[in-house]
Structure 1
Amino acid sequence: MRARALAAALLVVAVVAAGCGRGDGKVTTTTVAGPAIGAKGTESTAAEDLGFPAFATKNTTRVGGADPTADAAAAARAVYSGASRITRPHAVVLADGRDWRIGLAAAVLMGPPVRAPLLYAQGTATLPAATQDALDGLQPTGSKPAGGAQVIRVGDVPTLPAATKTTDLRASDPIALARAVDAFQSAARGTTSDRVLVVSADDAAYAMPAAAWAAKAGDPILFTHKDDVPEDTRTAIAAHQQPKIYVLGPPSVISENAMRALRALGSVTRISGNDPVSNSVAFARFVDGAFGWGVVDPGHGFVFANAKRPADAAAAAPLSASGTYGPLLVTDQADRLPAALNGYLLDVQPGYTRDPVRGVYNHAWIVGDEGAMSVAVQSQIDALMEIVPVNERSTTPSSP
């Protein structure tokens, strides 16, 4: 039997359906196989068995889980292979995956100084096989900024063996839990951040891009309702002592009433697009001093996730905080690249005049299986990542 290239891709995964947006609470089992090593040229499916083009193309790599639990495990192992002590993380976050807001808030712990990738539990039940396998492989060494903890348990998650040093972050609801995560991050840093991100507590698709930035920069994510800023969010922001507050989302998601309440707590800047796709592009382009990706030119990494799988945002956050570093871009379709993404990628496509070896390059991570993003869309993204002669840039096809 061939060895599998991604130990984290993770064979049999138990997932609570309620954590994927269905409310029936049933447990389903999904089989996710990674690409095989050792395919022979005598086999007609050798290329597919090796993982091409679904697992990878020349400019894209897919984290192809059927659910966020598998994607989190695979992304964590992609960033921290665990093959030697120097490739093991100091700590790992174990977050309750039944509510996308918990993972989103916990994504900041991948940022400095803790640098903890996130894995998902499904409540206090036995850990999903993918999560347990990844945790066994990662073997966190213990984080000094996190008080020596190897695992930071966020929300209602299983108790781990006594030999594992853990610290627990719990609260009555996800909004209060975000405040607890922020306080923990501030304690680990030894100071509060002078910047905070405020996102919708009710519309995940607009909030998703915040996870990538929080993981890269260590700026906390806090939640608001459309017209009302929760008390836990107000208290958390007040602890930052008049920080710069960046609100992600248009007035249809976070209204001017909420903005007025936030202005009493610090300076407020809105970053927004009219829909989740253009909203993610706006955040990718945005820069204000040291805040924001400011990706308006070639030579960057990108992460793509489907808005229908919001927990994938936190699952994939380590990919934005290491390697090629880059913003999370949201699609709302599995089988077509939205026009806003196509146009943006054309704007930042690499080009060369003489020798492509002297150029700069883009790379994309595709998060989720073909139910989240088809191979046809992956291929189109690959073409838009490709460095091309400058006089050919405008000829890239606009649809798969």
Structure 2
Amino acid sequence: MKKLILLGSATLLLGAVLAGCQAGNTDKTSSTKAYSQTAVNMPWIGTKNTTRINSSDPVQAAVLVSRTLWTAETESNRPSSVVLTDAAHWQIAAASADLIHHPSNGPVLYFNKDGIPEATIDELTRLKPLGAESNEGVQVIIVGTAADGVEAQLKEMDLKVDKIEGNEPAAVAQAIDTYYAKVSGELPDSVIIGSMDSPEYTLPAVNWIAHMPEPLLYVSQNEIPAATAEALEARSGQASIYILGPGRVISEDVEQQLAAYGTVTRISGDNPYENSVAFAKYKDSSNGFGWGITAPGHNLSLLTTDSPLLAVAAAPFSHLGKHAPLIFTEQGGLPDAVMNYTMELQPKYKDSPAEGPYNHAWLTGDASTLSGGLQSEIDDMLEISPASGDNPHSGH
């Protein structure tokens, strides 16, 4: 596979920055040195229908996603504010994706128990956030409970900071919902209800809430936390509630309790792969909620179920560019549900492949997370093909 170079020399500069960043890579410490050299050489790996964010380190991946979407060359492609969230709590990081879209229009980056990693500092310096006009010029929103030095580091950079503090997922999710309503001027009627215990079923929500104003609120299998109930009560019985995941993840009893706050719809699949496809295909025609992607000419964001912080780092791929829902896959190949979905989305041409439309996919993770074979397979499945069923490469 050949290297995809974005913004010329910026790729080499980014590699140099990322090489020194090892924060958050607790599962692959033995390969960090070898990976750092890979990061220098190939931060992105592209094929004709796919682009890989070539890092399985959440801190590095978040920076790469940020650099891909916000070139920061002019004011029009700089973020208003950046979401800086805790790499120790996937639930808090996932709920914080609601702050990606306007008025923030910025990426999620990570802090950890030691403070702000060097790669994140360098990315904040490159981005030079403009400050969100409807949020009193705030440039960085800290979500979660940060180490004592985090705010001081940001103030040394002369950045205006706001905070949404806490360590309890349901309470922080409620606080994010309230905060968004304040800075945007609206409290969305629709909400997504996810399990705080099952990221493999909840995380497809992050791409939608990065794209649209609806929040992610949390329940456990058999209980609605008080903070979630309060957030729903603020909708005065008019909430459109979308449960994400099957009954063994969020029980039917909880579903019945949620009906007290509005209308309830469950979107689910029997396994995480089917569940993510079901959410990508779902559309509520009454209010426009949901991706409703069932035809060619779209973008997907592929990740494995065991990397929740990578999923949050990649959430901005649904906010800018070719907006993409999150689709879960296996490390070495497409599961049946995803294979069938890509077959449904595969573009067909009548006379020439130049007719379009075209599909694309983002992959987030290095080859230890998403294999080269998987990237090749998804590239093939997204390729435009003749409606006749003939050889896709004949006649042009």
| 2:113 counterpart of 1:113 | no
Match of 1:350 among 347, 352, 364: 347
Task: Provide the C-alpha distance between the structure 1 equivalents of 2:166 and 2:390, rounded to a whole number of angstroms.
Answer: 51
Match of 1:13 among 13, 18, 21: 21
Task: Provide the C-alpha distance between the structure 2 equivalents of 1:393 and 1:121, rounded to a whole number of angstroms.
Answer: 52
TM-score (norm 2): 0.89
Indicate how the Cα distance of structure 1 residues 6 and 205 shifts in structure 2: closer, same or farther if over 3 A, else same.
farther
Question: RMSD of the alignment, in Å?
Answer: 2.4
SS in 2 for 1:161: helix
Segment of structure 1 superposing worse, 151-160 or 207-216: 151-160
Name 2:313's counterpart in structure 1.
315
Task: Provide the C-alpha distance between the structure 2 equivalents of 1:27 and 1:201, rounded to a whole number of angstroms.
Answer: 30
Shift of 1:6: 6.3
Shift of 1:363: 0.6
Task: Provide the C-alpha distance between the structure 1 equivalents of 2:14 and 2:65, rounded to a whole number of angstroms.
Answer: 8
Indicate how the Cα distance of structure 1 residues 92 and 34 shifts in structure 2: closer, same or farther if over 3 A, else same.
farther
Task: Provide the C-alpha distance between the structure 1 equivalents of 2:138 and 2:155, rounded to a whole number of angstroms.
Answer: 13
Task: Provide the C-alpha distance between the structure 1 equivalents of 2:112 and 2:60, rounded to a whole number of angstroms.
Answer: 12
Name 1:58's counterpart in structure 2.
48
Note the 1:193-212 alignment, pairs <5 A.
Answer: 193-212=188-207
Shift of 1:28: 9.6
| 2:139 counterpart of 1:150 | yes
- Deviation per CA, 1:30-87, whole angstroms, max 9, x where unpaired? 6445677xxxxxxxxxxxx678xx7000110011112221111111111101122221
Name 2:254's counterpart in structure 1.
258
Structure 2 gaps of 5+ residues are 1-7
Shift of 1:355: 1.9
SS in 2 for 1:14: coil
Task: Provide the C-alpha distance between the structure 2 equivalents of 1:120 and 1:153, rounded to a whole number of angstroms.
Answer: 9
Note the 1:217-296 alignment, pairs <5 A.
Answer: 217-241=212-236, 242-289=238-285, 290-296=288-294
Where has structure 1 moved over 3 Å in runs of 4 or more?
6-9, 26-36
Q: Which amino acid aligns with 2:163?
A: D
**Do 2:272 and 2:328's aligned partners in 1 also have CA atoms closer than 8 Å?**
yes
Shift of 1:391: 2.7
Structure 1 gaps of 5+ residues are 37-48, 396-400
Shift of 1:199: 0.4
**Do 1:194 and 1:244's aligned partners in 2 also have CA atoms closer than 8 Å?**
yes
Task: Provide the C-alpha distance between the structure 1 equivalents of 2:368 and 2:187, rounded to a whole number of angstroms.
Answer: 40
- Deviation per CA, 1:351-383, whole angstroms, max 9, x where unpaired? 101122122011100011112110100000001
Shift of 1:233: 0.6
| 2:369 counterpart of 1:372 | yes
Match of 2:155 among 157, 161, 179: 161
Task: Provide the C-alpha distance between the structure 1 equivalents of 2:20 and 2:248, rounded to a whole number of angstroms.
Answer: 40
Count of residue pairs brought into register by the alignment: 374
**Do 2:24 and 2:57's aligned partners in 1 also have CA atoms closer than 8 Å?**
no
Indicate how the Cα distance of structure 1 residues 384 and 27 shifts in structure 2: closer, same or farther if over 3 A, else same.
closer
Note the 1:85-96 alignment, pairs <5 A.
Answer: 85-96=75-86
Q: Which amino acid aligns with 2:155?
A: P
SS in 2 for 1:104: helix
Task: Provide the C-alpha distance between the structure 2 equivalents of 1:378 and 1:261, rounded to a whole number of angstroms.
Answer: 42
**Do 2:39 and 2:55's aligned partners in 1 also have CA atoms closer than 8 Å?**
no
**Do 2:56 and 2:364's aligned partners in 1 also have CA atoms closer than 8 Å?**
no
Task: Provide the C-alpha distance between the structure 2 equivalents of 1:6 and 1:195, rounded to a whole number of angstroms.
Answer: 43
Task: Provide the C-alpha distance between the structure 2 equivalents of 1:371 and 1:27, rounded to a whole number of angstroms.
Answer: 13
Task: Provide the C-alpha distance between the structure 1 equivalents of 2:354 and 2:199, rounded to a whole number of angstroms.
Answer: 40
Task: Provide the C-alpha distance between the structure 2 equivalents of 1:8 and 1:234, rounded to a whole number of angstroms.
Answer: 44
Match of 1:327 among 309, 325, 328: 325
**Do 1:17 and 1:27's aligned partners in 2 also have CA atoms closer than 8 Å?**
no
Segment of structure 1 superposing worse, 273-282 or 355-364: 355-364
TM-score (norm 1): 0.88
